Amino acid sequence: MKESLIVSPPPHIKTSEGISEAMRDVIIALVPTLLVAIYFFGFNALFVTAVCILSTVLTEFFVRAVLDRPFSLNDGSAVVTGLLLALSLPPTTPWWLAALGGIVAIAVAKELFGGLGKNIFNPALFARTFLFVFTVWHPLLEEYIKPLWWKSHSFTQLLTTKFFENGVIVTDLLARKRIDGITAATPLAIARAGSPVFSTLSGYESLLIGNIGGVIGGSSLALLLGAAYLLYKKHIDLYIPGSILITTALLSIGFGKDPIFQILAGGLILGAFFMATDWVTSPVTKRGKIIYGIGIGIFTFFVRNYGTRVEGMCTAILHMNVVALFIDRYTQPRRFGG
């Protein structure tokens, strides 16, 4: 009996859950959030998302071709990066800015560090921060549209869309700054300005469903639904998001802020469940995850409430990304029998 047999070290059976299956699950988990965003912000939300994904996917293709690295598009990680980037941007982001974000996320934050698995920073948040710094002289990203703005316009008005202005899909009516009442401040900005938040919002429920001026991924409820799916599929656990939420709540109570508002506003849910839990850039050990989450919670709370900027989630995660590996090294668990 002569057969050519494959010899390799054990184990000889492996799980069917590979990288692409995990990325597929993350995409599935984010679909409800995207659908809610399209409902509230109209076609803009879908357009920005499509541009981001197209940009990350094409960038990965070209960068890997130039660097002569094996193609990894089929793992789906570029799609996830594009999707997460889009969800962290305002629905009125100009297309060229969204595309630039995708390029920075993949070319700089991911491939420059060595590709998937080697990056230090969360690529989507790195690119988002880059875009906000890039546009600091011009408030392109500081303006948010009112949810359901399209409801006050007739179908024909919407059809006479003047497609681009500053790279933003606009109807004539949406030509920003020309018509009052189409832009909206984000809840955190309202709170920072000292106005009573719930004078403009109907209540927690509008924060929960995402009926607010804000980024595309603003529906906490849809995000929590997706997070529940990822928890069920065991791609994430509650150590990081749980410690972020608990830290935020405790600090809010301690400093006299509204804990529910602090948790539901400012992309905290998106950050806690989808950005801070990014495998590559977060710690692995249980104790490490808790320390990491507490760090993000503290950082976010003080930056968004007392810092120079209105929101702090994104910066907090990027800062904690840097120390994730060190946290792992110093929080190794007790060995069995040790």
Partner 1 sequence: MRLSSFQGGIHPPHHKHETENKAIVRAPLPERIILPLSQHIGAPCKPLVKVGQKVKAGEKIAEAEAFISAPIHASVSGIVESIAPHPHFTGAEMMSITIIPDKNQESIPLQEIPNPEAEPIEKIKSLVKEAGIVGMGGAAFPTFIKLSPPKDKRIDSLVINGCECESFLTCDHRILLERTEDFLKGVSLVLRTIEAQTAYIGIEINKSNAIEAVQKCIEASGFQNIQVVALETKYPQGCEKQLIKAVLNREVPLRKLPSEVGAVVQNVGTILAIYEAIRFGKPLIERVLTVTGPGLQNPQNILAKLGTPISHLISFCGGWKDGPPGKVVVGGPMTGFAIANLDIPIVKGTSGIVVFPRHMVPDPNKYWPCLKCGKCADICPMFLLPNLIGYYSENERYREADECGVLDCMECGSCAFVCPSRRPMIQFIRKAKAQIMAQKKKPMVRG
* 13 near partner 1, rule: CB under 8 A: yes
Least distance from C-beta 205 to partner 1, angstroms?
Answer: 35
Helix axes 43-67, 19-41, angle to 10 degrees: 150
Site for partner 1 contains 11 (CB under 8 A) = yes
Nearer to partner 1, 162 or 234 (CB): 234
User: Which of 74, 96, 117, 179 touches partner 1 (CB under 8 A)?
Assistant: 117
For residue 115, state whether it binds partner 1 (rule: CB under 8 A): yes
Nearer to partner 1, 230 or 294 (CB): 230
The interface region with partner 1, picked from 13-21, 27-35, 172-180, 298-306 by CB under 8 A, is: 13-21
Q: How many angstroms separate the CA atoms of 187 and 202, rounded?
A: 12
CA dihedral 90→203→152→30, nearest 10 degrees, is 40
**AA letter at 62:** F
Q: Please count the residues of this chain forming the interface with partner 1, following the rule CB under 8 A.
A: 44
Among positions 176, 192, 233, 235, the unique one binding partner 1 when judged by CB under 8 A:
235
Q: Which is nearer to partner 1, 161 or 285 (CB)?
A: 285
Give the SS3 label for residue 237.
coil
Please tell me the distance from the alpha carbon of residue 88 to that of residue 3, in angstroms, as a whole number: 55
Residues 272-311, interacting with partner 1 (CB under 8 A):
279-282, 284-285
Question: Does the N-terminal peptide bond of residue 123 adopt cis geometry, omega within 30 degrees of 0?
Answer: no
337 binds partner 1 (CB under 8 A): yes
| Residue 14 C-beta: closest distance to partner 1, Å | 6
Work out how close the CB of 3 gets to partner 1 at its nearest, in angstroms, rounded to a whole number. Answer: 6
In whole angstroms, give the CA distance from residue 285 to residue 36.
Answer: 34
Backbone dihedral region for residue 163 (phi beyond 0: left; psi -120 to 50: alpha; all else: beta): alpha
Q: CB-wise, 155 or 336, nearer to partner 1?
A: 336
Determine the Cα angle at 260 with ends 254 and 261, to 5°: 95
Indicate the helix (H) or strand (E) that contains 170.
strand 168-170
Asked whether position 156 contacts partner 1 by CB under 8 A, the answer is no
Nearest approach, Cβ of 104 to partner 1 (angstroms)? 21
Residue 207: alpha-carbon gap to chain centroid: 17
By CB under 8 A, is residue 6 in contact with partner 1? yes
Is 113 near partner 1 (CB under 8 A)? no
Least distance between partner 1 and beta carbon 77 (Å):
9
Which residues, including other chains, have CB under 8 Å from residue 135's CB and lie 6 or more apart? 97, 141, 142
Does residue 333 bind partner 1 (CB under 8 A)?
Answer: yes
- 68 makes contact with partner 1 (CB under 8 A): no
CA gap 36, 42 in Å, rounded? 10
Surface-to-core class of residue 316, CB atoms within 10 Å of its CB (0-12 exposed, 13-18 middle, 19+ buried): buried
- The verdict on 19 binding partner 1 (CB under 8 A) reads yes
Q: Which of 67, 69, 74, 118 binds partner 1 (CB under 8 A)?
A: 118
Under the rule (CB under 8 A), what is the footprint of partner 1?
1-3, 5-15, 17-19, 21-22, 72, 75, 114-118, 234-235, 237, 279-282, 284-285, 328-329, 332-338
